[in-house]
Amino acid sequence: MSKLTEVERLNSTSTQGAKLLDAPALVSELGGCYAAELGIHLNDLNSAEIYKWFLAAMLYGARISENIASRTWQVFKCNDILTPEGMINTGWDGLVAILDQGGYARYDYKTATKLLTVSQALLDHYAGDLNRLHAAALDSNNLEQRIMCLGKGIGKVTTQIFLRELRGRWNKATPPLSLLAFNAAQVLGFLPKEINNDHKLALINLQQLWCKHGMTQDSFPDFEAALVRYGLHLRHRNA
């Protein structure tokens, strides 16, 4: 039985109607932050680690499977190309080869150009340090705009994937709750029915629910990531 199928089984109701699955159990079953699963450590806000996650977010942000994006990131890791300088030094042809090796062939040319453009902009404007970008941002909206202004191809999806796992770590990282997480939370019964489609209120409710289980606010991205995984499962199941 797959983990996702097990979640569906655990979330079934007992004869008394009591829900069997809680928020920490969902994380236990499906896993937490994507960054942590890749071996990226964001808790200390180390600039090198944040860039690694930014690279991963750019890969996850394309219309490509999660498995291919993860595998491609591992190819970058194996080749020790995990810094803006490393991207520039590898060059366009080298990046295309890395992307092809990971299975990114459909988007290799466009993604190689994006990685070079974004890395150069990050070096030119923020000395290659995303922590500097965050410090320069006036507020949450300005933070998102600065990230998207790094280069063509960095849209809202990539930006929100990136910021989602920095929620509770960067004080200006307050992306909206993704539709995937919202749909999963509704199906799994983590949101009251009267919440309708109010995503802002849904995020507040989910954060409160997480804290009620004795979990810290800075670990909320684990819950959010688990919801995203289940949301992807729902989308594929219903396709």
Question: Which two structure tokens, joined as six digits, stand for 225?
Answer: 């990531």
pLDDT of residue 16: 37
pLDDT of residue 239: 63
Q: Answer whether residue 235 shows pLDDT above 70.
A: yes
Q: Is residue 95 within 8 Å of 87, Cβ to Cβ?
A: yes
pLDDT tier, 194 (very low <50, low <70, confident <90, very high otherwise): confident
- In one-letter notation, the amino acid at residue 115 is L
Helical segments of 11-155, H only: 23-30, 34-37, 47-60, 66-78, 84-102, 108-126, 130-136, 140-148
Give me the residue spans of the domains in the chain.
3-30+176-238, 47-160
Closest by CA to 176, choosing from 211, 149, 207, is: 207
Which contacts of 197-204 are long-range, i.e. CB under 8 A and separated by 24 or more positions?
Answer: 200/176, 202/177, 203/176, 203/177
Q: What angle do the packed helices 66-78 and 84-102 form, to 10 degrees?
A: 130
Model pTM? 0.92
- In one-letter notation, the amino acid at residue 176 is P
pLDDT tier, 114 (very low <50, low <70, confident <90, very high otherwise): very high
CATH number of 47-160, picked from 3.50.50.60, 1.10.3720.10, 1.10.340.30, 3.20.20.140: 1.10.340.30
Question: Which two structure tokens, joined as six digits, stand for 69?
Answer: 């994006």
Q: How many residues does the chain have?
A: 239
pLDDT of residue 41: 96
pLDDT of residue 64: 86
pLDDT of residue 4: 54
pLDDT tier, 238 (very low <50, low <70, confident <90, very high otherwise): confident
**CA distances (Å), 231 to each of 27, 72, 185, in order?**
13, 22, 8
pLDDT of residue 210: 96
- Residue appearing with tokens 């507020």: 139
Q: Tell me the C-alpha distance between 14 and 22, whole Å.
A: 14
pLDDT of residue 63: 83
Question: Which two structure tokens, joined as six digits, stand for 204?
Answer: 């507040």
What average pLDDT does the segment 85-107 reach?
Answer: 94
pLDDT tens string 26-55? 999 999 999 999 999 999 999 999 999 999
pLDDT tens string 76-85? 999 999 999 9
**Does the CA dihedral 200-136-121-91 come out positive or negative?**
negative
Q: Is residue 162 within 8 Å of 53, Cβ to Cβ?
A: yes
134-146: b (≥16 Cβ within 10 Å) or e: beebeeeeebbeb
